[in-house]
Amino acid sequence: MNPAQARQRMETLRAELRRHDEAYYRKATPEITDFEYDVLKTELADLEARFPDFTDAASPTQTVGDDRAPGFVEVAHRQRMLSLDNTYNEAEVRAFHARLARLLETDDLRYTVEPKIDGLAVSLTYEAGRLVRAVTRGKGDRGDDVTANVRTIRTLPHALHGAAPNAVEIRGEIYLSAAEFERINAGRAAEGEALYANPRNLAAGTIKQLDTGEVARRKLEIVLYGLGYCEPQTVRSQTELHEQLKAWRLPVVEKLWRVRGIDETWAAIRELDALRRTFAYGTDGAVVKLDDMARQRDLGDTAKAPRWAIAYKFKPDTARTRLRAITIQVGKTGILSPVAELEPVLLAGSTISRATLHNEDEIRRKDIRVGDLVEIEKAGEVIPAVLRSFPEERLAGAAEFDLFALVGGKCPVCGTGIARLEVADEEARGVAWKCQNYDCRAQRTGRLGFFCSRRALAIDGLGDVVAAKLVELELVKDPPDLYDVRVETLATLNLGTVEEPRIFGEKNAAKIVAAREAAKALPLEKWLYALSVPDVGESTARELGRRHRSFAELEESGLLRAVVRKAELLARRELEAPASRKNPAKSEGDKARRKELCAQLDAEIAGLDAGVLAGAPADIGPVVAASVLEFFAGEAGRRLLAKLGALGIDPQGTMAAAGVFTGKTFVLTGTLPALKREEAEQKIQAAGGKVSGSVSKKTSYVLAGADAGSKLEKARALGVAVIDEAELLRLLAGA
């Protein structure tokens, strides 16, 4: 993988992980299993280690997932709430011990082993023994104040029993029992409401309810296991903390193993695995903590997790059942996804009748056929996945899966012909069948839901069910049509059936109207992302938003045209190269002509690089550029822009305002003493300057740090001004 590819992949992984973080922490509706999530995260961490130039302090590998939601007051934690490093195998647990033994220069180490509760983290503050505050983990340093909701937890004392410190933060996990989960979901099913996927999501969704009465009706529970800020602190070990929590009469983990050395640690983990299904809460792993708190402090923390603890995640539960049928769902980009319809089977405490199958190639690779006995897995209790089939037990006559034949070559929603898509699109994972009709009802619904999602325009309250209804009633074709739907229409929307109506209501309708108004002021980058322009992900949208003032400018973008033009020139250059092997020169005359042509092409390329393309980001390659230009020149794009125009919505780009560096081009080389490369780039761009990758006569300044290389030499040779970080900061300060 070359650096450009690595950077692209890292951006993609970060965007994807952020999306999953959002789904898990904020919306409590994860789309992938914890295990799949960890696989993505490990890939990103590996790339970051290999390509340190592209590290990012805001990367999901460096931060804890953010659970904050609107409507709550944010409160700072006195001591940060961290996450835990995860492992899935014994060797890594042993490596953890070996690392601690090396750092602490002894392998005689005591640990506690306790259940890893599958709930949501909370920090309780008791002052003078009284519960004063309960705050979610948030983004680690500050979270949402959920005190009123936490006070409804019946098993939680509002005062500590016996002597208490002046102030203490006690950390723990809020959860729902399996029985309570079933009870609430059964009620929702009766009401025709969407079901929660698992107890953890339901608990997370409940704690983020603004209606405390509703929270009280759902019997949340809590278990406490950790210490944050504590004044004065008397406990010296994890074991003592556990005893102290019990003495205060707080609910604690059902069992805690106190062990010495790694072999006892591993034995305790095995015992815990055998016992965990009997616990009141879902247990998805074991947490191993160094017992001695003085040593914990010596080891300290990384950016997101303590060095003195590790979580070992248990293998997900699996079950066998029969694959009854494969049905097809159509997403916002028109991609057809197969879904497994299963003989209902009990798995990890709930009945499963559907599972994801990803795509056709995967079904073929795993040789899964309708009628097969299959093994399904439910990790982290999200939507289960089909792991494998058992071809040896297959009934005769089972045909290989053929998506095209199954749907008769047509989109199952709108009946338009489908086409095979051969792109490197991450969501499609390489290969997919796609509905060709941009106006397909399924695509429209998907785009509307996406338009309103948090990362897009954050029109909260407009979820998939409402989106589907608006599209079904043809009230919305393109997402901006949402602005034409009257508040009365929204309020009277029936999301249920004629026999069992479920009316959306005035309160919800008013919420949407307020949110859509607020969205009008969002910047170009958000709108661009929200409109589902092909190939435009979040980071591309951001880059485009920074380099254009409006949709009108983007539609005619000189930058994008230059990117496309340069790709054409490079292709031509390769073809015409006098020494081309594919296309050898036919004669001396031909060679001379081609040499001259190549010189012309080179000159034009250099002109583009030094001009329009100076500082152009790697994100915007020729495929993206062509795709954006084509989209806005095409029918769908024109329709969207006309609609926005008619609505008077004209989102503004965050293009660098004129500043001290307007018209100046910078090239960075070497390592700066204080600023990271991206930080320096940002400062330059924020002041109106451009950053380019190569030095030319047009370069205004070369910003050089330690170990600067050939760019510095070239700058000197061309007589370009060379400055250091201090000088840059002086210039920025206008001195």
Active site positions, annotated: 116
- The Cβ-side half-sphere exposure at 177, using a 13 Å CA radius, reads 11
Phi and psi angles of residue 703, each rounded to the nearest 5 degrees, phi first: -95, 110
Check binding of 309 to ligand IVH (CB under 6 A). yes
Of 37, 54, 126, 225, which lies in the binding site for ligand IVH, with binding defined by CB under 6 A?
225
Chain-centroid distance, C-alpha 554: 27
Q: How many CB atoms sit inside 10 A of residue 348's CB?
A: 20
H/E segment holding residue 588:
helix 588-610
Check binding of 629 to ligand IVH (CB under 6 A). no
Stretch that binds ligand IVH, among 77-85, 397-405, 414-422, 530-538 (CB under 6 A): 77-85
Q: Which is nearer to ligand IVH, 225 or 433 (CB)?
A: 225
Q: Which is nearer to ligand IVH, 117 or 456 (CB)?
A: 117
Residues 139-178: x where in contact with ligand IVH by CB under 6 A, - otherwise, as a string: ----------------------------------x-----
Least distance (Å) between residue 69 CB and ligand IVH: 17
Closest by CA position to 62, among listed 37, 81, 45 = 45
Residues 34-73: x where in contact with ligand IVH by CB under 6 A, - otherwise, as a string: ----------------------------------------
Q: Which is nearer to ligand IVH, 81 or 513 (CB)?
A: 81
Of 129, 205, 226, 545, which lies in the binding site for ligand IVH, with binding defined by CB under 6 A?
226
Helix 90-104 / helix 261-275 crossing angle, nearest 10 deg: 140
Least distance (Å) between residue 162 CB and ligand IVH: 23
- Which single residue brings its beta carbon nearest to ligand IVH? 121
Identify residue 464 by its one-letter amino acid code: D
Identify residue 279 by its one-letter amino acid code: F
Stretch that binds ligand IVH, among 46-54, 81-89, 391-399, 526-534 (CB under 6 A): 81-89
Closest by CA position to 467, among listed 486, 487, 446, 453 = 446
End-to-end CA distance of the chain: 44
Residues 93-132 that bind ligand IVH (CB under 6 A): 114, 116-117, 121
Stretch that binds ligand IVH, among 182-190, 305-313, 417-425, 478-486 (CB under 6 A): 305-313
Q: Which is nearer to ligand IVH, 287 or 728 (CB)?
A: 287
- Tell me the DSSP string of 509-536: HHHHHHHHHHHTTS-HHHHHHHTT-TT-
Closest by CA position to 386, among listed 472, 475, 455, 326 = 326
Per the CB < 8 A criterion, the answer to whether 712 and 702 are in contact is yes
Q: How many CB atoms sit inside 10 A of residue 456's CB?
A: 23
Report the DSSP pairing between strands 120-127 and 130-136.
antiparallel
Least distance (Å) between residue 184 CB and ligand IVH: 22
Q: Which residues pair with 230 in a beta bridge?
A: 168
Q: Which is nearer to ligand IVH, 299 or 414 (CB)?
A: 299
Check binding of 84 to ligand IVH (CB under 6 A). yes
Check binding of 311 to ligand IVH (CB under 6 A). yes
Of 306, 331, 446, 479, which lies in the binding site for ligand IVH, with binding defined by CB under 6 A?
306
Residues 249-288 that bind ligand IVH (CB under 6 A): 287
Q: Which is nearer to ligand IVH, 100 or 512 (CB)?
A: 100
Dist. CA 383–CA 229, nearest whole Å: 38
Per the CB < 8 A criterion, the answer to whether 676 and 700 are in contact is no
Least distance (Å) between residue 98 CB and ligand IVH: 20
Tokens 């069948």, residue located: 433
Check binding of 728 to ligand IVH (CB under 6 A). no
Least distance (Å) between residue 80 CB and ligand IVH: 9
Dist. CA 628–CA 642, nearest whole Å: 16
Q: Which is nearer to ligand IVH, 23 or 468 (CB)?
A: 23
Dist. CA 732–CA 735, nearest whole Å: 8
Stretch that binds ligand IVH, among 4-12, 79-87, 399-407, 508-516 (CB under 6 A): 79-87
Contact residues for 539 (Cβ-Cβ < 8 A; gap 6+): 11, 14, 15, 619
Binding residues for ligand IVH, per CB under 6 A?
A: 82-84, 114, 116-117, 121, 173, 225-226, 287, 306, 309, 311
